[in-house]
Chain A
Amino acid sequence: MNIHFERHLNILDFTLSSLLRRKGKNFSLLTMYLLVIFMLASLVFFVTALKREAAILLRDAPDMVVQRLVAGRQDLVPAQYAESIASIRGVNGVRPRLWGYYYDGLNGANYTIVADDYMASSPESAVIGNGLARSRSMVVGDLLPLISYDKAPLMLQIRSILPGESDLMAADLIVITSEDFRTLFKFPAGLATDLAVDVGNPKELATVASKIAQQFPDSRPILKSEILRTYQAIFDWRGGMVVIILASALLSFIIFAWDKATGLSAEERKEIGILKSIGWSTSDVLLLKFWEGVVISLTAFLLGVVLAYGHVFFLSAPIFAQALKGWSVIYPDFRLSPNVDGYQLAVLFFLTVVPYTAATVIPCWRAATTDPDSAMRS
């Protein structure tokens, strides 16, 4: 085998026995390090996976949503807007949508009510989100009572429950027929909440949007990419909030690690002197310290990342879920599909392993460059 490789192996071997001699110090350092990596990696995995889930779910969303604004606030859209927009060249189809929010006094939650005559095919029936079914302990066939605007009850029979995979967007969703929707909210006929517009060629989206805005000055066309960006920003912002909370822990760790890594005890200095006196060169000693840093930081990094992976993708991140999924009464409950962003992992690696290793090697430089005869005089 290569002589250089053997040299590294031999020195690495000594590094490991060297680390085992100071079990207490190194184990506490490793534990703290691992915890920090675990928290940060969990956060990175979770936010990335949430953004990816959102992107997947929004893949089937309309290319553009057209809202109407009155005095800067969203207002209902007249149905005739749909006909005019449908006649714009490049528009494949326009669908008026009915949706709104319903406050349930029973459990203090807000539900999202959407009208879809295809999904909820018969009157007084509903398809509900998994989170809602869970919070109200409902199964298919149960009756879900909603109170109409005039306090009259509207009894909806649950036809089906949406799968857990859609929980991120549909945990609190109730899908009913448009007729029931209008009854529930006394929603005026000939008006819609907004319009879903499909455009065949994505390159024409901006042109179509500007034509709509020109034709209907009170309209606000929103592109799918903008909706996606908003979701991404929300998850990034929530991730940022958690990072700020973690910052104090992170800072404490940095101070602790810096102190542990840079402080060279009298015993360690003496050992360096002995190694030099028995034939180790300065570069051999620095290599030993380099491996010490790498063993601690890489072990913490790898273990932390593996634990974070399990925490996020197998246990659905119980530590961060409350803060990152949302602040609703009905928390989405779903298992994120494993997805790791190599770039973010590399950034995490360079922000943790590299500085620690450098902090271990640099202070040894001075001790390693002294004459080996100091060992003979100690």
Chain B
Amino acid sequence: MIELSSVTKTFNSGKPNQFTAVDNVSLTIEPQKVTVLKGPSGSGKTSLLTVIGCMARPTSGRIFLRGIEAALKYQHESDGLVEITSLPESFLNDIRRATFGFIFQQFNLIKGISVLENVMLPAYPSGERRNDIRCRALELLEMFGITRHAGQRVELLSGGEQQRVAIARALINNPSIIIADEPTAHLDSKLSYEFMAIIEKLKNAGKTIIIASHDPIVFDSMLTDMLIEMRDGSIVESRRRS
């Protein structure tokens, strides 16, 4: 479970172009559920995702992780609750690598190297044996039906295939939480539905999924357990689907 308490994220603090992307947000994200952040561009969805995913620190407020294995070694109390906002970068990085898998709007794959290597990349710094990482990456490629592209340079793949590579990459460290930022923005409807089918599989596999999207295929999906609507950095509505 992820708990956010009065989280604010301000960019360019103290400068004339100061801008608050996330404004005093308190939120609880349930484990093994699909949570969708909905809202127009500039509503603060991506900023909130980066803060939740330990990619950036909030300007104020606190974030707690409960029952997350990678974070447990940093807990102060025995209740399994870890306050991650104040952890040093290296600790935060450990938690981020082991806990979160990221799927980006632009896929953010590294051009010039193979599909397989792109998928393996997040696991390289872990110190795991290369062969083990490779086997796991091949399993993931097989799962997404792109094994035949394993040795191909990633930029030669179609948009849908590139996204599947990005999802495989997000799963390489077997994270318990998947964060996706506008994952269907560059996909047509057919591919968007295929993406949601993958999300269903991941949900069934027990992953916690947080998606930022303004695509109805995503937020109207039956898979969505919690829909959070944002505007101007604040939560305007929070709906739990039964």
Structural contact, B125 and A284, CB atoms closer than 8 A: yes
Structural contact, A6 and B130, CB atoms closer than 8 A: yes
* Leading 6 A-B pairs by shortest Cβ distance: A21-B112, A279-B97, A3-B127, A373-B50, A10-B124, A7-B127
Structural contact, B130 and A10, CB atoms closer than 8 A: yes
How many residues on the A side are at the interface (Cβ–Cβ under 8 A)?
Answer: 34
Structural contact, B108 and A14, CB atoms closer than 8 A: no
Question: Does A307 reach chain B (CB closer than 8 Å)?
Answer: no
Question: Does A278 reach chain B (CB closer than 8 Å)?
Answer: yes
Structural contact, A6 and B117, CB atoms closer than 8 A: no
Structural contact, B130 and A278, CB atoms closer than 8 A: no
Structural contact, B113 and A18, CB atoms closer than 8 A: yes
Separation of A280 and B125 alpha carbons in the complex (Å): 7
Question: Does A277 reach chain B (CB closer than 8 Å)?
Answer: yes
Q: Which residues of A contact B (CB under 8 A)?
A: 1-7, 9-11, 13-14, 17-18, 21-22, 271, 274-275, 277-284, 371-373, 375-378
Separation of A378 and B108 alpha carbons in the complex (Å): 9
Report if A277-B112 is in contact (Cβ < 8 Å); known contacts: A6-B130, A13-B130: no
Structural contact, A278 and B122, CB atoms closer than 8 A: yes
Chain A's closest residue to B54 (CB) is: A372
Structural contact, A277 and B113, CB atoms closer than 8 A: no
Point out the residues of chain B lying under 8 angstroms from A22, CB to CB.
112
Point out the residues of chain A lying under 8 angstroms from B93, CB to CB.
279, 281
- Of the listed residues B90, B110, B124, the one surrounded by the most CB atoms of chain A closer than 10 A to its CB is B124
Structural contact, A21 and B113, CB atoms closer than 8 A: yes
Point out the residues of chain A lying under 8 angstroms from B46, CB to CB.
376-377
Separation of A255 and B151 alpha carbons in the complex (Å): 37
How many residues on the B side are at the interface (Cβ–Cβ under 8 A)?
Answer: 38
Report if A376-B121 is in contact (Cβ < 8 Å); known contacts: A3-B127, A281-B90, A371-B56: no
Chain A's closest residue to B104 (CB) is: A376
What's the nearest-Cβ distance from chain A to residue B130, in Å? 6
Structural contact, B125 and A281, CB atoms closer than 8 A: yes
Structural contact, B133 and A10, CB atoms closer than 8 A: yes
Point out the residues of chain A lying under 8 angstroms from B106, CB to CB.
378
Structural contact, A281 and B89, CB atoms closer than 8 A: yes
Point out the residues of chain A lying under 8 angstroms from B229, CB to CB.
none
Structural contact, B122 and A375, CB atoms closer than 8 A: no
What's the nearest-Cβ distance from chain B to residue A19, in Å? 10
Question: Does B77 reach chain A (CB closer than 8 Å)?
Answer: no
Separation of A7 and B121 alpha carbons in the complex (Å): 11
Separation of A263 and B9 alpha carbons in the complex (Å): 32
- Of the listed residues B55, B100, B113, B133, the one surrounded by the most CB atoms of chain A closer than 10 A to its CB is B55
Report if A14-B121 is in contact (Cβ < 8 Å); known contacts: A7-B127, A277-B102, A277-B104: yes
Separation of A375 and B106 alpha carbons in the complex (Å): 9
Structural contact, A277 and B127, CB atoms closer than 8 A: no
Structural contact, B113 and A371, CB atoms closer than 8 A: no
Separation of A277 and B129 alpha carbons in the complex (Å): 22
Point out the residues of chain B lying under 8 angstroms from A7, CB to CB.
124-127
